Structure 1
Amino acid sequence: MTRFITIQLLRNKILMAWPAMTLLCVLLLLWYGDAIISDQQEAAIQIGNLMLPQWQIVTSYITLIGLIVLISFPAFLIENLRPERASLLFSKPISRTQFFGSAFAGSMIVTVLYTIVTAGLVLIFFLVKGAGVPGTLLVGILALPLLVLPYFVTVLLLAIVTKNYLITFFLGYVITALSTFLLVAEELFIASGIESQLLFIAITTGNYVVPGVGPAYELLSIIVNPESITVDEGLNFTSISLHYLASMVPFTGLSYYLINKQEF
């Protein structure tokens, strides 16, 4: 089943935009751009007078990857959960638990594969330009599955509940954006003079219920800028990691329950 889902995703033309877009960008940069690695091992890309530091490269890139994932993942989930397709799949010696695990495994296999391709193309660009190996930039790119996982968990639950591609995409976009907002919401409200304990409880609850796209961004930011980590920030890295993992549980658990209880 994992192989079946992996092949489905590899054939998904929208998801193919990920490696295709990366290849196109690298080819254009080989012609028009230049690569720089500072004495502090900070990587950057220069295009004319425009300098893009590694944190900006990763931030811009993961925003685009998140959008590609939101568009592409609902398609294969909803296709397989259509009554006629689901009845055919589950009539074979495939349990719903196997389907659930295979959906996760297939999605992560393709994500890791495309991530490695991305890192490889970026490495080739820096080596061809004679800049060397952009270590922390490559680590940040290779950590992209951290971001894709909460997007997938969000889309999985929405696809099961709504069985509608457009609704899944729209709500997925809203919920993943909400995760990023909730991470800083309490500080924003306090700065605005709003100090409602009920509101803060709701924000804290939401932080651990909504899959952690926000924490994933924070983790990637720290990974790309490791020299900025102090002792306190190291503890913060641990707390963000725990927050990230805990936030996956509600949507994942509910998805598993619905997969096993709903009729398809």
Structure 2
Amino acid sequence: MTTYSGTEEFAGARFIKANFTGATFRFSDVSGVRMRAVDVNGLDIDSHDLFFGTLYVNGVDVVPLVEAELNRQFPGRELQNAQTLDGLREGWLAVQSAWETTVAGAPPDAVHAQVDGEWSLAQTLRHLILATDTWLRGAILRVPQPFHEIGQIFTGAEDMGFDMSIFRADPPEFSEIRIVRAERQQMVTDFLATATPELLSQEREAPWAGDDWRPTVGDCIRVILEEEWAHLRYIRRDLALLASATADST
């Protein structure tokens, strides 16, 4: 199988009667791609940022339909965009309850299992530790070095010049991950318990270099909620696939 990585050669290209059966696109820019008279049976699209744009199928923007269905599947998810303090508190309780159920129901042998190169449950919880450190401890509370050493940073961070020496080289035990994760969850709970509407409206610096966005404190909390719901969906998807594979093998 041929792999194209970091290429710009297909930008603006035209594909006529081309065969992409079984092809995989990862970390790629397909914005503005137009498909006409194509066979899309089994086409599988997964985009964390889907709700920021549009996706037309037969002239219909399906993004609102997808969002409504995800909100149905994950009660409380709609509150990730809440603009009030009460809404953010309710949304945080909802996603934490969903995570508690998911982690408690995960088989021990599935904790470190990966599906198609995606993060395992253990790695995902480590990434959510990092997300809390980034947006609460870093952006909101302005802690100079906010990151815990077991945090899992996003793919490509090292290429962007991020100091990876902050993080521990050896993967931690799942028990330690659970402890640190619980500590970070409590930090968000405690912050929301004492926050005020005035505090939510205050501006902060974006946590990543080169980002000129000036988020409010409320925006930072909403990013945490988006991260929590997005990765919960990924993990439930992958745990279901692992369970299905186990059932098929037996």
TM-score, structure 2 length as denominator?
A: 0.31
Q: Which structure carries more relative contact order (alpha carbon 8 Å, separation 6+)?
A: 1
So what's the TM-score if we normalise by structure 1?
A: 0.30
Higher helix share: 1
